[in-house]
Structures are given as structure tokens and as C-alpha cells.
Chains A and B, each alone.
Chain A
């Protein structure tokens, strides 16, 4: 029998209590139990960045945390960012610049780019690439993603 725990956490502003198997990782809990499938799962060992979400304001890998560790935490997923309008400029810039094709990497890419932009990052292509280095995109070749982030930082986007 899998061991379980009761956790209480807030996801995109909604607080609830849930019983989770302790071995369940956070992104699986978010996708399978909460039905928030905007966060994606690629490698399950921290290298691709598809599962990137915000926990207590920090950008983290949803596949490298167990849901039980998030007891008491405040979590924001891509759905929460869309509802609140935070990151709307990045979304608009990604669309305008064709910074996505299949979209698999996009939720994690947006969360990571937002961490950079809100952290006061400069419109410096090397620094942006370094910040996004933990997020894989198999479609775009990254140029358009870096363009989109620069557009937002330099104020060329109307959200």
C-alpha cells in the first residue's frame, strides 16, 4: 500500500486539502488530481524544464518535488498566470514572434522567462539564454524565444 499524507495548499489562489501518495511528484498531482494540464512533463529528472511552475514565488521543477513537500505552499501554474494577467506581455510577444510551434515547452518557457523579466533581467541575449538554458525547445531553435523576451523587456509589446 502506498503511504499517503494529507496536505493543504493553495493553487492559483484556491486553497484545498488533499490526500496524496507521498511518492507522487508535484507536477503529477497538479495535472492528474487538480486537472491543470497546462504544466507539462517531459524528462522527469529535471533537465527539460517542461514542468516549471512557481512555488512560494520561486521558479521550480514540478518533477523534482514531491507533492507532500508543498504542504502549506502557494503555487502558481501557467493557468494561474493566464487568469491573473501576469505574464500577458510575454504571451503576446511569444505569439507575435512565433516563439512556439508545438507548444510543449511553452508553459515552462513562459514561467522561466517571467522569472527573468520580473527579476529585472536586462535585454541581453546571452544573459537571457543563460537563464533559459534549463528549458529545452525542440521546435523553435530558441532565437524567436529570445527575441520575444527582449521585446518585453524593451517595452515593444502591448499586453
Chain B
């Protein structure tokens, strides 16, 4: 039976997925595609889906175009740019009915390889590239630019915008500009001659505004530069390496003494994560702002030092760009599964400050804040980013810096204060906030020296095995974490338009999907209040929010409901009051998933209530 092909028609609201071979140079063409649409004033959110491999294995790049501005992953795709024969079958199978398949038609493929309900757009990219270039590498690279050209013609992306972007890209290599434009036009010409415009359209809007387009790792690195970090020690690991690399790149531009050319930063690629955190601990002890960046396996190795820094009260900033665990887990997939581990890292009773950025803007802000918090609280501070935020470019509010802002170096006694006779006992709680005073090594010839150790000690830093000294110290550390609550970024409340019985708690990279889900639920007549948690220990307002709602759902991207566990622990509440909604297959959570999951829970709760009412 013949089917009538109903093609998807959508303007500024669809998903394009590129299937490529790792190492084929497709990344820059794909990024250009996303940027063109942004430059036409339409929000996009791209996501890299890549294997733990350098060359040869499949990679995907998914671009969601959303004029309304939803930046979470949508799920599904309307157009597949199938450039990888290896993954062809699954790539084609996944296209939404009525969608489009763009491919290299140089080699004929059997009919069985195609779908009836999908519009096929074949462009002989290899043939055209072979006719125009001799060098195999060039053929490959320009094939990528050709498909960009063909897509732009098919979808109405303005040529001028692409030309300008390519021009910016090759500002310093003008020789490459002309061949790129040639490739672009070859692709455009072929598409224009052989196909009409397709149903997926990009139309110019003004929906991007002043926002910037950047990945979270670069943003965090820049925040650490602005926040005054001078020492970075790290060991390469996906998905955090690009943070250290970005720090180096920014420092080389922004942290070189203009007169002498000397560096106001030191970056050590250490032999492992134990050394990384050791270096950071030593630098923090000695009064420099220092950080390390890593992912789950690195945190595992750092545990002993984290306990030392907690107990000996040394400022340490750790960026954990989370990936799928446990063990090597899913090294190139995203998760929020180090939350509980970081909150209590190391043996014995420990408790650490966590920050949960939602996007690159907050990565910048919280990274700078982490350095202040570590100094103020004299303790490890974790910036818990993840692969989804860290390694994907995201549209976000521009970075901002108040010119009058001063670094908070915390309670440090100077030589003058010591000379003037300031009383000093390293672990005395002088101000009642649990935070003691410290001195930097080398400050004063006769006053202010003390011995730092991981063993128990009295308030004057003298070795002590007395139970009361130990207990007092541990209680003071607890008080210190209590003080932290008010210093951390406070939760962000989104109240439903109508009074809502249900509330949802979430954090970090779940935010874009949650924003969309909340709007959808509202439109579906299921209003829900939402509170985005931004720091741990949790503010008291989180408990108030829980108390205000009949049912509170906790949405997170791990198996064990880790944030929920921390909430139950801190607030000592009945676990039944917090309903977990968990997504942990390594892909970023979607609004579709959240809406369905919340819908089910809310209906179940309402149904149960109705039944109870009848019984009563």
C-alpha cells in the first residue's frame, strides 16, 4: 500500500543530528552550523555525543533549534546528516516519521537502506570533493563545509551569515578563506539545483539578545582567572581536561606581566590526582589561590588529601566535571553521580561545601566564588559541573564582573596585626562562626607560626589526643559548615502561575530541561513549584519549600537519588516526603522525560488521595 509522505514542517523549532566519524574534522563545520543559526537570532543548543576514542569511532553532534529558547536536550531528531556508514542503520531508524535524511550519495545504496516515511536528500559530496581537490585531507575537510553549504540552502540559513563566520574563523589564515567559501558554494549550488527548500526552516528572529555561546569548562576556567587562582595542578581526564587547557589559554593572554613577560600563574600537569590535590593543598596552605580540575576517578584518588584539607582547614578548590560512574563507567557521558561522594569525601566524619552551576554563566560565577569561599571557610570547596555543561557550548547570560569586587581572602593575620600583639591560636573560634584565624608561613619572625597536621590537636594547634579537644574541634568544624549556608549561592524559586500542591527540587545541568518541563506542565494544567538548589549545605529555605508542598519530587541524574539522600540527612525528614525522579543512562535529561515522570507521580498521588477520601 502506498503511503502519502507527510513531511515535518517546522520553523525555528526542530532537531538536527550529525553522525560523523571521530577525527574527520567535522566538529568545526557542525559548530559553524549551530553558530549560523544563533547569528540569525534563533537560540540553539548543541550537544556532542562522542566515544572514548580519538579516531575512527562514531561521534554525533545534535543541534536543537528552539526559537522559544529551550536549551535542554529535546530527544529525537527531525533531520539526520548521515556521514558515517558504520552507524547508518541506527541513525536512519531514529529519524522522526516525516523527517529528513541527508547523506553522501556518491556510492549508490540499496533501497532497503532507506525509509519511505522520510525525505531523502542525497548529495554526492565525495564525488564533488574529488573533482575539486587532490589532497585527501582537504577532500575530507571540504566535504564537511560542502554539507554545511547544502544544508544552509535547504533550510534557509543566510549565506552572508556563514561567510562572515568563516571570515572570523580564518581571520589569521586568510589563505584558507577562499577554498572554504568555494566548498560552501559548491554545496549550496548542488542543493539549489536538485532540491527545493525543505520543511525545516530557519528564519531570522531577535531571540538571542546579549547572550553568549560558550562551554562550561572554558567559563569555569575564566572564572578561576578572574577569581585570582594562581596555581593549577591537574591530571588529564575527560571531561575536565579542557578546563585546565582553557585556564592555560586564558592565563597566557590575561596573566602575563606586561613589562617583564613573566607569568602570574603556574600550571603543573601532575603525575596523578593525588599529586594534583597535594600541590593545591600546599599552595592553599601557603596563601595562594589554587585549584584542581578532575572527574570522578580523580576524586576517588584525592580522598585522603580532601580529609586532610578539611581537618587541617586549608582552602582547596576542586572542580569536578562529572561523568558516568562508577569506576571508568561511561567516561564520555554525563551524570550527576558524585554528589554524595563529594559531600562526604574522605574517611571519618567529613562534610564539604558543594556548588551546583546550571550553565556556563554560573560556572564562571561559582568558580570565582569557590576561591572566595575556600579562603573564607578554610576548607575544600567543590564546583560540581558535569560533561553536559562542561563540554558543550551553551547559550547563557554574558559574564559579568563588578569592578569594585575584592577577593575575600578570609581570616588571615598580617605581620602588622601580629606585631601589634593580636592573640593567635590557630584553631580558636574567636568569632563564634566556627572559622579560625590563620597566618601564612613566613609572616612574622617570632609570632604566628604553628604546625599543621592531620592528627587531632587542641585549639592552639598542639598535638592532642584528648577526647574533649577532639570533640570541640569536630563541633567547631560543624559550626563552620553551618556558617557556610548563608555564604553559598541561594536556591532559585520558580513559582507556578497558580497555587501548586506539588513541588520539585533539582540542580545543575537538569535546569534547561526542567525550565521547559515546568512550562509544559503548566500548559497541561499541572502547575508545579520548582526550586533549583545551588549549594550544599542546603539553605534553610529548601526545608521551607519542602514543608510548603504536599509532595516534593527530586529530579536528578544518578541512580541512587543522591541529592535526595543529602536532603534527608541534613533536614532529618521522612524519606517518604521526597519522591525521586531519576535519569542516569548517560544522556542529558530531557523535558519529555521529566514531564512524563512528574505527570505519573502527580497522578498517582492524586489518585491515592481520591481513594483515601472515599474510604474516609
Please say whether chains A and B are actual partners in one complex.
Answer: no
Tell me the B residues contacting A by CB distance below 8 Å: none
